[in-house]
Structure 1
Amino acid sequence: MHDSRHKLGLILIGGIRLKTANVSGNLLWEPSREIQEKSNIKKFMTWLDETRGLKFEQYNQLWEWSVTDLEGFWSAIWDYYKIIAKSDYHEVLSEGKMPNVDWFSGATVNYAEHIFRKETPEKAAIIYQSEIRPQQELSWAELKKNTAAITGYLKSKGVKPGDRVVSYAPNIHETVTAFLACASIGAVWSSCAPEFGIQSVIDRFKQIEPKVMFASDGYQYGGKKYDRLELVGRIQTELPTLEETIIIPNLQDQPELSGLKNSVLWDQVISQNSNVPLTFEAVPFNHPLWILYSSGTTGKPKGIVQSQGGILLEHIKFHGLQMELTREDRFFWYTTTGWMMWNIVVSSMLTGATVLLYDGNPSYPNDETLWRFAESTKMTMMGTSASFIVANMKSNVKPREFNLSHLRSIGSTGSPLPESGFEWVYQEVKKDIWLYSTTGGTDICSGFLGGSLLMPVYSGELQARSLGVAVKSFNDAGEEVVDEIGELVVTKPMPSMPIYFWNDENGERYKNSYFDVFPDIWRHGDFIKITSRGSGVMFGRSDATINRGGIRMGTSEIYSALESIPEVHDSLIVDIPINSEQSYMPLFLVVKEGTPFSEELKSHINKTIRQNCSPRHVPNEIISVNELPKTLNGKKIEVPIKKILMGIPVNQAVNSDSLLNPQSLQYFIEFQKLIESGDVSVN
C-alpha cells in the first residue's frame, strides 16, 4: 500500500486556528455487488420502494431521508420489523425541542418479547467461555426456560414494573438471563462489573434504590481468582432497599451463603420455578429499560435512563441495518458487564443471532486468546477495542494463522483506530473482511457513525453516519462544516437518547451535560471531521484539546503517531498553561516491559511525532511512568490529569473510586508539585 501519511493543514474554528490532518485514507475494501444485493439494508430499501414509493440508490440518500423525515423513517422501522405492540401509538414524535420530546406516545411494548420471538429452540442462543468455564452452549429453549424461572421468582418476591434490579456479576450466561427476566416483567436493570470496587458499586446502586440484586461469588481475570462474597455482604448492608439477593456460583459450585442476608443460590431459583411459563408485561414505549452510568471521573456517576421502546427500535435498526446481523450470525464483542457494549451484545439477539460471551483477560495467557475463541466458535463478527487491535499489532500477532473462514467482520470502538490499525486488519487478519469502526456513547447506547455494506472502507475513516442519527460537525459559531474538524453534534432527537437522568428532578443535569454549548443541539464532546463523501474521522475528546500558540490540536493525532513505535506500550499527553501564558505539554509514557527508557528512545519519539504530525505536536518533555490512570472501563482520563497538573485538588478533579488503578494518581500529584515549584521546562 502507498504511503498514507497525513497532510497537515490549518482551518479556522471560532476564530482560533485548528491544526488538522487532511486525511485521505487508502481504499481498503469494497463490498461486492453480490454482498450489496444480499444485504439487509438493500432489502430494506427495496421494501421502502415497494411499500412507501421511496426510491434510494445510495446509502447517503437513504441517510439524508432518515434524518429529514424522522417520523417517516422511524415508523418505517416499526413496520418493517413488525414491532409487537399491545396498544398502538398515536404519534411517532411529539412536538418540542431536545430533550423534551416523546416517542411513539400511546404504544405499549416489551423489549424481551422481541428477543424471544426470534428463537430457534434447539439452536444455540449463547455460546460462552471464561477463564474458569470451558466453552459451552445454551440453547434458545434453555434460555427461555431459565428466563421464565427467574421471572417467576422475581414476581413471587413482589418485583413489579419500575422496580430496580441490579447485577454485580461477570459476562456469563446467567447475567444475560437475569436481564431478560427483568425486561420481561418491566423491571429496570442496572449492572456493575465485579471488578468494580465496593465504593464504585455503592455510588451507582444506592442512588437507584434496588429491590433485588444478582451477584456472583467471584470471577477470574488474568489467571487470578477474585472472591466477591465479602464485598456482596458489604454492598447488602449499604443498600437499605435491597430485599433479595441471588448468588450465581462462578468460582465455586456451592458458595457459602451464611455471611449474607436474604440470599439464595441461582440453581435453587431455577429448579424451584422450572414450570413457570414466560410471559411479557407490555409497558409504555418510554418505560425505563435500564440505567447506565456516566464514568464518574469528576463526581458521583450520573444514572442514564433509557427506555424499553427507544432501545428496542434503535438496536433493531443498529444490528439489522448497520451491522447486518441475521439468524445465521455468531456475534461477539469483547466487553465487561459494566460497559454499554454488553447491552449492545445482548440486543444482537433481536435479530436471532447467537451471542458469544467471553469473560476474562483477552491477553491471557497470551494475545492470541480471542483469535482462538473466534476460531473455535466459528465467529462471524468479532468486536473489540481500538487499543486491542493496536496491542496485537505491536505484539506481532498473526490472526491469519487461525481458521477464520467464518469471520466476515471486525468491529472496533472505544477510541479512534489509527490508520495503521485499519491496514493491519487487512494485512494480518483477512483481505476480504468488513472493518466496522464505530463511535457512539453510553449516553445513547448506540453508534453515531458506523458501517454500511453499501459503502467502501477507507483507512482511518468510519464509513457512514448511522441511519436516523442527524450527526454534523459544528465550528464554535454553531455552523456546519464539511471536510474540517469540528464538534460532533446531533441536531435532531434519537429514540435511545436518555429519557432522563436518575434523581434529576428538573432535568438540569441532563441539559448541562449535552445542551450547554449549542441551544437545543446535542454536543457530545468529541472532535470529528465529516468528509464530503459522508464518512467520518474521529480526533478524540474535544475537552482534551491541545492549544499551542493559538493552534488547537487533537490528542489522537499524537497517539496515532506513537502507534508505530513498538517500545511504547501506552501514552497520555496533556497541555497546560504555565504562568497563565506558556503552553507546557508533557508526554507520559509506559514503555514495553523490558525496554530501557533511553535518550535514544525519546529522540526517536520526538522525530516520529514531528514527521507524522508537526513540530508543534512535539512535547516539551517525555516522562516514563509505571502506569496510567484508567477508568473502570479501561479508558484514559486526560481531562482529570490535566486538572490535577493545573493544581486543582484531586477530589475536585477526579473521583478516585471510578478508577481501575487509583494509586496511579499519586505520581501526577507529586509531579504537580514540581510544576508549582518551577522545576519543569517549557523549552
Structure 2
Amino acid sequence: MTTPEPPRATPASAAAPAPADEPELLRAPAADVLDSTELGRFVRYVQAARGESFADYDELHRWSVTRPAEFWTSVRDFFRVRFATPEQAALPDQGMPGTRWFPGATLNYARHALDGAGAADSAPALVAYSQTRDRVELTWGELRDRVGRARAGLRRLGVGRGDRVVAYLPNLPETVVAFLATASLGAVWASCAPEFGARSVVDRFAQIEPAVLLAVPGYRYGLKDVDRGATVAEIRAALPTLRVVVCVPYGDGALPDTVGWDDLLAEPGRPDTDPVPFDHPLYVLFSSGTTGRPKAIVHGHGGILLEHLKNHALSWDLAPGDRMMWFTTTAWMMWNALVSGLLVGACPVLLDGNPLYPDPDTQWRIAAETKATLMGASPGYLMACRRAGLNPGRDHDLAALRQIGAAGSPLPAEGYQWLHEQFGDRVLLNVGSGGTDVCSGIVQGGPWQPVRAGEISGPALGVAAKAFDDDGREVVGELGELVITVPMPSMPVGFWGDTDGSRYRATYFDTYPGVWRHGDWVRFAETGSCVIAGRSDATLNRGGVRLGTAEFYRVVEELPEVADSLVVHLEDPAGGNGELLLFVVPAAENALTAKLRDRIVRELRGALSPRHVPDAVVAVATVPRNRTGKKLELPVKRLLLGADLADVIGPDTLADPTALDDFLTLATERSKR
C-alpha cells in the first residue's frame, strides 16, 4: 500500500499511407498532472528511489522498456507487493519465449486483492446491479469474511493447490468471492458467462479438467427470464472430472444434487492465502474460438498482480476509495481487470443483464448513482449513445468521473469528439487495445498523454509495442504487425495442455523469432500515437497494398444511412486482385439503394483512396460479432470461400445467433456459380 496523500485536484511499402490530415488534439495533459495523479506519485517515487527523472511520458516509457527489470521492480516496491520468499533476480534473461520473472519469489494475488491497499472493513468493496435481483453492496469486512468462508468450504470439498474451479456465473459478488477463495488456495480459476451454450462451455472447461463447477439455475436479461437448468445438466454430464457442483441462487429454479452456496459458506474461516510461485497459474482465459477450439491461455499470480497494479493506478488513475464501473461478462478479460480494481483499493461496480435495458442511458445513470471515477464502455455502446442523441454530461451528475475507458474495438474520431463535447478537458478519454493474451492494454492512454481524435495515445508503460513490416523492420507512418519486443510479466505462462510449448510458440513467436506478434494491424505516428486497423489475419490485400478494416468502418459508419458494416477481401488463387466486398446494415427506414451505394463509393474514394472502393456493396440484416463486440471478418471470409460453418466458428461465439444467416445464403449462391 502506498502512503496516503491529500485528496487530488481534478486534472484540468506494402502498406497503405497514413492519412494526410493531422488528427485533432482534443486534450493535452493537465499542467498539474504530476501533482494530481497516481502516475505523478510513481514518478516522484522513482526519482527518489532510483535517481531517475523524466521530462515527459515518452522518457518515462523509454526507461520502462529499456530497463524492464528496474521498472517492474519499481512497480513492485511502489505498491508494496509482498513476496513470502524473495526472488533470485527480477529478470535473469530477456529472451522470449521462456522468459521467467522474479524466479524463486512466492506470493498470492488474493492476498493483495483482499488487503485492498489497506482498505478499512467498513468501506465499500463491491457494488452490484442486476436485472435478476436487487442491488447488492459488500463492505471490505463482508468481502473478507465471505472469502474466508468460501475458502474453508472449498477445502472441505477437497480443493487444493493446482485443482481447477470453474464458474458458469454472471458478474455477481458471489463470483468475485469464489474467484478470490480459489486463488487463495493456489487453485486455478476459469469462468464462462451463462449466456454461453453447453457445447461452448464444454469446449473450454473440458480442456482443464475441473474438480468443482459453480453455476446458476437461471437469470433475467432485460424482461426475459432464462432457465439454465438443462444446460447445466448437459455441462455437468460432459465433465467427468467434476467432484461437485455448487449452486449459486439466482433467478428462478434450483439445480438438483448440488451443494448450496449458503452451505459452502456455512462455516467461518480466515481469509488466509497460500504463497505460490510467481508464475503459478492464477486463471485460464479462453480465446473467442472463432477458428477452432478456444485457446486455454494460462496467466500467473505474479504477472497479473504487477500488470494490473501498474495499469489500474498509472493508466486508469485509480486509488483507494475510487469506483470502477465497466460493463463486462465473466467470459471477457475485462471481468478479470474489473475485479483487480480491488488491488488498488477501488470499489468495482458489477453490472449484470442487458446493458441497454431499459434504455441506453441506464449505464450513465448507474455511473452517476455510484459516483464512478472510471467508467468503461465498448465503442459500440458509446457510438449508440451518440446516435441516440444522449447528453450524459448535461443530464447526469457525473462530477466524480475522471476517466472514460473504451476497449474491444476501434472508436471512430466522431466518438472522441462527442465525448469531448460532453465532458471537455475535465474527463480523460482513455482508449486502449490489448486483450486476453496479456489480460491488459498494450496501447492506451493515461493522464500524462495527449488525446487526439481517432487515435490511441501510445504504448502502455512497460510495453515495447512497435509496428513491424514483413521483414521484421520497424515502420512508422505505415501499417504493420503489432509486436512487443521486450517481455512483460503478464504474457501467458503458457497454454493449458501445451506441454512442449509448441502451440504457444507458433501463436506468438513463429513470425518474428524472439518477438511477440500480437495479431493486430497497427499504424504508429511520429508522435507515438497509433491506430489499430483491425486483426492482421483479416487485413485486406489489394494488389500488394494492405488496407485495414477499421479504416473502412470509420468512413462508412459515419453515414447516417448506415447502421453497421463489415468488409472482407477474397483473394484470387490465380494472383489477381480478388474481390473486395463491403456488407452494410442500412439504418432504420433506409434501404441500400443505388444512390446510397454511389455515396458509399464516393466517400471511400475521397476519404481513403481508390483502392478502398469495394467491388460490391451488399445489404445484410446484421453484422456478426462475438460476445465482446468484435466484428467477425475472418469467419465471414472463410464462409464465402467455401468453408463449412462448423469449421469456421465455435458455437455460441456469436452475440446474435442469426448473424451469419445472410452470409450462409451468399456462400451457397457463390458455390453454385
For normalisation by structure 2, the TM-score amounts to: 0.95
CA distance in 1 between partners of 2:207 and 2:592 (Å):
46
**What SS class does the counterpart of residue 191 from structure 1 fall into?**
strand
Superimposed CA distance per residue, residues 38-73 of structure 1 (whole angstroms, 9 cap, x where no aligned partner): 211121111111111112221111111111111111
Aligned counterparts, 1:254-293, within 5 A: 255-257=253-255, 260-261=256-257, 263-270=258-265, 272-273=266-267, 275-293=268-286
C-alpha contact 1:182 1:188 (8 A) present in aligned 2: yes
For 2:75, the equivalent position in structure 1 comes to 77
**What SS class does the counterpart of residue 472 from structure 2 fall into?**
coil
For 2:305, the equivalent position in structure 1 comes to 312
For 1:153, the equivalent position in structure 2 comes to 153
For 1:606, the equivalent position in structure 2 comes to 601
C-alpha contact 2:185 2:274 (8 A) present in aligned 1: yes
1:648 and 2:643 aligned: yes
CA distance in 2 between partners of 1:600 and 1:376 (Å):
46
**What SS class does the counterpart of residue 658 from structure 1 fall into?**
coil
Amino acid aligned to 2:585: V
Amino acid aligned to 2:150: I
**What SS class does the counterpart of residue 104 from structure 1 fall into?**
coil
Amino acid aligned to 2:71: F
CA distance in 2 between partners of 1:149 and 1:591 (Å):
53
Structure 1, unpaired ranges of 5+: 1-11, 679-683
For 1:681, the equivalent position in structure 2 comes to none
Superimposed CA distance per residue, residues 325-378 of structure 1 (whole angstroms, 9 cap, x where no aligned partner): 101311111111100000000011110001111111221221111111111111
CA distance in 2 between partners of 1:63 and 1:489 (Å):
16
CA distance in 2 between partners of 1:53 and 1:547 (Å):
49
For 2:128, the equivalent position in structure 1 comes to 128
Aligned counterparts, 1:126-275, within 5 A: 126-252=126-252, 255-257=253-255, 260-261=256-257, 263-270=258-265, 272-273=266-267, 275=268
For 2:513, the equivalent position in structure 1 comes to 519
C-alpha contact 1:539 1:554 (8 A) present in aligned 2: yes
CA distance in 2 between partners of 1:287 and 1:521 (Å):
23
**What SS class does the counterpart of residue 288 from structure 2 fall into?**
coil
Against the structure 1 CA distance between its residues 481 and 46, is the aligned structure 2 distance closer, same or farther, given a 3 Å change threshold? same
C-alpha contact 1:489 1:524 (8 A) present in aligned 2: yes
Say how many residue pairs are matched. Answer: 657
CA distance in 2 between partners of 1:347 and 1:34 (Å):
27
Amino acid aligned to 2:223: G
CA distance in 2 between partners of 1:155 and 1:454 (Å):
46
For 2:7, the equivalent position in structure 1 comes to none
C-alpha contact 1:196 1:632 (8 A) present in aligned 2: no
Amino acid aligned to 2:160: K
Aligned counterparts, 1:525-604, within 5 A: 525-578=519-572, 580=574, 581-604=576-599
Against the structure 1 CA distance between its residues 462 and 314, is the aligned structure 2 distance closer, same or farther, given a 3 Å change threshold? same
Superimposed CA distance per residue, residues 2-21 of structure 1 (whole angstroms, 9 cap, x where no aligned partner): xxxxxxxxxx1xxx353442
Moved more, 441-450 or 543-552: 543-552
Superimposed CA distance per residue, residues 54-95 of structure 1 (whole angstroms, 9 cap, x where no aligned partner): 122211111111111111111111111111111110111232
Superimposed CA distance per residue, residues 573-619 of structure 1 (whole angstroms, 9 cap, x where no aligned partner): 11113563242122112223443343333333223222322232122
CA distance in 1 between partners of 2:23 and 2:630 (Å):
26
For 1:504, the equivalent position in structure 2 comes to 498
Query: 1:222 deviation in Å?
Result: 3.1
C-alpha contact 2:380 2:629 (8 A) present in aligned 1: no
**What SS class does the counterpart of residue 278 from structure 1 fall into?**
coil
C-alpha contact 1:567 1:591 (8 A) present in aligned 2: yes
Superimposed CA distance per residue, residues 152-195 of structure 1 (whole angstroms, 9 cap, x where no aligned partner): 10011110011000000101111111111111111100000111
Against the structure 1 CA distance between its residues 178 and 603, is the aligned structure 2 distance closer, same or farther, given a 3 Å change threshold? same
1:296 and 2:294 aligned: no
C-alpha contact 1:19 1:552 (8 A) present in aligned 2: no
Moved more, 360-369 or 580-589: 580-589
Q: 2:327 aligns with which of 319, 326, 334?
A: 334
C-alpha contact 2:34 2:43 (8 A) present in aligned 1: no
Amino acid aligned to 1:190: A
C-alpha contact 2:378 2:407 (8 A) present in aligned 1: yes
CA distance in 2 between partners of 1:256 and 1:235 (Å):
16
1:387 and 2:393 aligned: no
For 1:491, the equivalent position in structure 2 comes to 485
Structure 2, unpaired ranges of 5+: 1-12
**What SS class does the counterpart of residue 203 from structure 2 fall into?**
helix
For 1:362, the equivalent position in structure 2 comes to 355
Query: 1:546 deviation in Å?
Result: 1.5
Amino acid aligned to 1:210: P
Moved more, 468-477 or 652-661: 652-661
For 1:472, the equivalent position in structure 2 comes to 466
CA distance in 1 between partners of 2:621 and 2:437 (Å):
32
**What SS class does the counterpart of residue 659 from structure 2 fall into?**
helix
